[in-house]
Amino acid sequence: MRCADCRDAVNAFVDGELLAEEQRDVREHLATCADCRREHEVLVATSRTLKEGLVRHRAPDVLKARIRSALAQPDAFAPAASPPRRSWMRLVAAGIVIAAASSGLTVAAIHNPFTQQNATSDVLASHIRSLMPGHLVDIASTDQHNVKPWFNGRLDFSPTVPRLEEQGFPLVGGRVDYIGGRPVAAVVYSRRQHLINVFSWPSTDHAEGLTASTANGYNLLHWRAGGTERWVVSDLNAAELRGLITLLQRSDSAGRPLGS
Ligand SMILES: [Zn+2]
């Protein structure tokens, strides 16, 4: 058996999918070739990590879905020009990414239910997903008296839905989204051609002042006050988003939505 054949077969070998005689050929080659043996060991270790990571600590469905869609993208892990033969190294690379992602997130999930970093990527993913056709709102309405009651029975809390049309942020609607393993409220506003997601959910963590970050060209602003976690995400500029946040905070501290 040549090294190239061994590398093609070793994935199936580790998975126990080879016929007896094929297994014997691979085993014989591994016994004599240090290079292939090393690659086989990496694959075995990766496979073990994967199994432990995915079975003992189940990755959240959102993560699985995200990894699946990442793998489905042709350029996710592939080099610019793919070699003609089946590249098991690419499968190993994908496996390592999955193992690292799931075990990393699992460890994070055990020690800290929902880290800021997880929150940032979850919130950003929700925002981008909401921009896909048909995903923006479950209830489309410019009237807060339609949007706010719509959340009743869909969430275990009642998000504030202030009317900010006169301040230049017309309400677009609302939807229930899923962030950090829990359903959250997403209230959508617009500003010229920009869409703004305002995410909120209850939190028992200590209050935190406004922090701003950017990712993939989007501005993400976060604060926590009055037992509520808030995220505002948009491609609108940070200055105007801060203006919106001032309005939201004012309506929060008023204890009731503006205009109601
Ligand atoms: Zn070899």
Between 116 and 58, the more confident residue is 116
Separation of CA 140 and ligand 1 centre (Å): 61
% residues pLDDT > 70 (the chain)? 72
Separation of CA 43 and ligand 1 centre (Å): 14
Q: How confident is the model at residue 39 (pLDDT cuts 50, 70, 90)?
A: confident
% residues pLDDT > 90 (the chain)? 52
> From the CB of residue 239, how many other CB atoms can be counted at a distance below 10 Å?
8
> Hunting for tokens 């189940």 — which residue is that?
58
Does the pTM exceed 0.75?
A: no
CA–centroid distance for 240 within its chain: 26
Residue 184 has pLDDT above 60, yes or no: yes
Separation of CA 39 and ligand 1 centre (Å): 9
Closest alpha carbon to 233 in 211, 255, 209: 211
Cα angle: 210, vertex 211, 215; to 5 degrees: 140
> Hunting for tokens 């997601």 — which residue is that?
197
Separation of CA 50 and ligand 1 centre (Å): 25
DSSP state of 157: S
Separation of CA 38 and ligand 1 centre (Å): 9
Range 98-110 average pLDDT: 54
**The predicted structure's pLDDT at residue 197:** 97
Separation of CA 3 and ligand 1 centre (Å): 4
